[in-house]
Amino acid sequence: MAHRFESVQQVRDGLRDVNYLADDGISGVAFLADRLGKPILVEGPAGTGKTQLAKSIADMTGARLIRLQCYEGLDESKALYEWNYKKQLLRIQADRGSDSWSDIHDDIFGSDFLLTRPLLEAITADDPVVLLIDEVDRVEVETEALLLEILSEYQVSIPELGTITAKQIPLVFLTSNNTRELSEALKRRCLYLHVDYPDMEREKQIVLTKVPEVSENLADQIARIVRSIRQIDLKKAPSVSETIDWARTLVLLGIEHIDAQQAKDTLHILLKYQSDIAKAAKELSVDK
């Protein structure tokens, strides 16, 4: 299979072209994942661009994005595959005159009766695919076992059909918000990438990229204020996506220079807990 990327710089440039500002660390891991054929485990605080990285890689490569959104209680019928029981029942009823159960069995457990879910769909796809396994830390430890065969061998074992091997190796991203510790077996199969809050200059550039109407002066103020708010002891620090929402809000309100009162009046865009809003408002009053 041909490599997707020629160099780390090509990854960085390609992501910038689809409005994702990556540093050399992010670009380097994506490049190595392609060359080594390994998944990427992306950990970090919520809202720092982990999911968007997978979407942007799909955009820049022209690949189809297949997403598995993880949640508590996820099982193989939603992640891997399940049989189309209604269709099987109809076939059994249609073949009631058959003398051979084995013939019926082989018929109803064929690929025509298989419902593919994201994991199986990704490895059986003919076209280029980016597989996003989002918020993998939400599933139970036992459910991680569903992923291990795919992430190590890129194959799925189905008792009735045998082993289905990938037609191609998809580029796989697993994201985690660190709500629980993932198993060593899962981590061992992945390249590791930690995506943290950007530094002030990079956040400013993100705002300028995502909100074209914002001025450079306003973007600089936004990045500085958000940075100072993140240094407060909060239940939930503002994410990059919330910074962008705040920038859009300020542009809509026609604000070019942010004073303390305007910042306090719009804190609900950045922060989602009343206790955090109160702390930030107090800090802004002190700064004033």
CB under 8 Å to 223, separation ≥6 — which residues? Answer: 200, 201, 203, 204, 207, 243
Please give the average per-residue pLDDT across 215-230, as a whole number: 96
The tokens 């200059």 sit on which residue?
Answer: 201
Average pLDDT rounded to a whole number, residues 156-182? 87
Q: Is the pLDDT of residue 106 over 80?
A: no
26-47: average pLDDT: 94
CA angle 12, 194, 273 (to 5 degrees): 110
Q: 258 — phi, psi (to 5°)?
A: -90, 120
For residue 95, what pLDDT is reported? Answer: 66
d(CA 131, CA 123): 9
Contact assessment for residue 174 and residue 138, using Cβ atoms and an 8 Å cutoff? no
Q: For residue 83, what pLDDT band results from cuts at 50, 70 and 90? A: confident
Would the CA dihedral through 196, 198, 200, 204 be positive or negative?
Answer: negative
On the question of pLDDT at 99 being above 60, the answer is: no
Residue 28: count of CB within 10 angstroms of its CB: 18
Residue 42 scores a pLDDT above 60: yes
What average pLDDT does this structure show over 234-241? 94
- Residue 168: which H helix or E strand, with range? none
Q: Mean per-residue pLDDT for 194-198?
A: 93
In which element (H, E) is residue 271 found? Answer: none
pLDDT band at 189 (very low <50, low <70, confident <90, very high): very high
- Inform me whether the pLDDT recorded for 288 exceeds 60: no
Q: What pLDDT is stored for residue 146 in this prediction?
A: 79
User: What is the distance between the alpha carbons of residues 280 and 264, in angstroms, rounded to a whole number?
Assistant: 8
C-alpha 222/C-alpha 256 separation (Å) is: 10
Q: What is the pTM of this model?
A: 0.85
Averaged pLDDT, 248-270: 94
